Amino acid sequence: MNSTSSSSIRSAATAAAPACEQQQQQLQQQQQHQQHQERQQQDEQHKDRHQSHEQQQQQQQQVQEKQQQQRNQQLQQQDVQEKQQHQQQHKQRQQQQQQQQQQQQQQQQQQQD
């Protein structure tokens, strides 16, 4: 029984790692996507140069607000990721301690036998 539980603990620890990497990849993709959007928005601003000055200012304000919102979202996601990573590291440490305890118990049982 001891050996099966320790192997399932090990697989749980390894399963946690790729999820972390996946999140980082998603964040990178979002950043690239945001840069692309910013470029598009700048292009649109160039096209709109001949529009009235007031409209242009309004548009720029909207664009800046949008970009600010996107940045805030990314910062929140990074915070969440960091928290999750800390939790996973903590879990892995706990699991390693459990494994060590189990191994000690097994050794004691063998000695008693």
At 20-68, the pLDDT tens digits run 677 778 878 888 888 888 888 888 777 766 667 788 788 889 999 999 9
Residue 105 lies in a domain: yes
Calpha distance 68→70 (Å, rounded): 5
How many distinct structural domains can be found in the chain? Answer: 1
pTM of the model: 0.36
In a domain, 96, yes or no: yes
DSSP of 79-109, one letter per residue?
Answer: HHHHHHHHHHHHHHHHHHHHHHHHHHHHHHH
In a domain, 43, yes or no: no
Q: Residue 94: give the domain boundaries.
A: 67-112
Q: Is residue 103 assigned to a domain?
A: yes
Q: Is residue 11 part of a domain?
A: no
